């Protein structure tokens, strides 16, 4: 595990974007695993700016997103499909047919999750997986549980996650209760994992996840065992370690 300490959110975003840019430059046809949430917005902004400046080309890049809400129309502005288009895909030249997210509207959860794992396998796995972390230690929507889930699966969101995500919706009632998410096994299979964390409110979970025991009760803690894991976190997020 490598920790890169940054001054603040902007510094974290630039450094994370630089790591992703390096991946795209080294391997133009790489598979990027992408994440949603508040944290990666600044990272994507930098990638868009460097694309616009002619420094980055995504023409051969393929993407797989970590997760998607279940039963939220794709066009809903808070679907992760919409989030990704608004923050990245609409602004760079990743071909539309190279963009992959779980289909949250496929009612057959088992079929959808198996199909998503097959897509990831057909791409040859993920070269670089970007991650945020939830206050409960979740990665993707892998919530605290008694065992690490391996492949893509359907999850019931915890109350803490619903509470955290209600800021994006009109009310808590509108937050979907379920999601399809890559499993911790899929994430651990990525050749490189890049986690970004910012803010004092994440300091406690950063300490627990990366300076405490590896346990499925803190899903992110498994990353301590990843051979190529980089944590880019600002001073506030690292203030307890
Ligand atoms: P956030 O979410 O970036 O909005 O804090 C992180 C996560 O839940 O993975």
Residue 179 phi, psi (nearest 5) = -150, 160
Predicted TM-score (pTM) of this structure: 0.96
Q: What is the C-alpha to C-alpha distance for residues 138 and 184, in angstroms, rounded to an integer?
A: 10
Active site residue 138: yes
pLDDT for residue 161 is more than 90: no
**Whether residue 160 has pLDDT greater than 90:** no
Residue nearest to atom 2 of ligand 1 (CA): 37
Distances (CA, A) of 174 to 115, 167, 171, 177: 27, 11, 6, 9
Q: What is the mean pLDDT of residues 213-230?
A: 97
DSSP 207-232: HHHHHS--BTTBGGGGGGG-TTEEEE
pLDDT tier, 149 (very low <50, low <70, confident <90, very high otherwise): confident
CB 166 within 8 A of CB 175: yes
Catalytic annotation on 67?
Answer: yes
Tell me the CA–centroid distance for residue 30 and ligand 1, in Å: 24
Centre of ligand 1 from the C-alpha of residue 130, in Å: 12
CATH code for the part of the protein at 2-197+209-228: 3.40.50.1360
**Band of the pLDDT at 123, cuts 50, 70, 90?**
very high
Compute the average pLDDT of residues 173-186: 95
Q: What is the DSSP letter of 177?
A: S
**Using one digit for the tens of pLDDT, what is the confidence trace for 7-38?**
999 999 999 999 999 999 999 999 999 999 99
What integer is the mean pLDDT of 231-237? Answer: 98
Please name the residue that has the structure tokens 């399809």: 180
User: In the structure, what pLDDT confidence band is assigned to residue 164 with cuts at 50, 70 and 90?
Assistant: confident
């Amino acid at each position: 595990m490598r920790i890169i300490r940054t001054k603040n959110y902007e510094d974290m975003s630039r450094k994370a974007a630089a790591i992703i840019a390096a991946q795209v430059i080294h391997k133009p046809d790489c598979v990027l695993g992408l994440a949603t949430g508040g944290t990666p917005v600044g990272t994507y902004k930098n990638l868009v700016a460097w694309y616009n400046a002619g420094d980055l080309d995504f023409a051969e890049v393929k993407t797989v997103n970590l997760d998607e809400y279940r039963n939220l129309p794709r066009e809903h502005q808070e679907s992760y499909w919409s989030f990704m288009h608004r923050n990245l895909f609409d602004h760079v030249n990743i071909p539309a047919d190279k963009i992959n997210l779980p289909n949250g509207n496929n009612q057959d959860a088992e079929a959808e999750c198996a199909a998503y794992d097959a897509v990831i396998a057909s791409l040859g796995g993920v070269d670089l997986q970007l991650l945020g972390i939830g206050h409960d230690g979740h990665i993707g929507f892998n919530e605290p549980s008694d065992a690490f889930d391996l492949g893509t699966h359907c999850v019931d969101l915890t109350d803490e996650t619903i509470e955290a995500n209600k800021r994006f919706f009109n009310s808590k009632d509108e937050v979907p209760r379920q999601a399809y998410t890559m499993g911790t096994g899929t994430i651990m299979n990525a050749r490189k994992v890049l986690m970004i964390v910012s803010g004092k409110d994440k300091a406690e979970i950063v300490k627990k996840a990366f300076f405490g025991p590896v346990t499925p009760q803190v899903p992110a803690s498994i990353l301590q065992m990843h051979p190529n894991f980089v944590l880019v976190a600002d001073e506030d997020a690292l203030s307890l370690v």
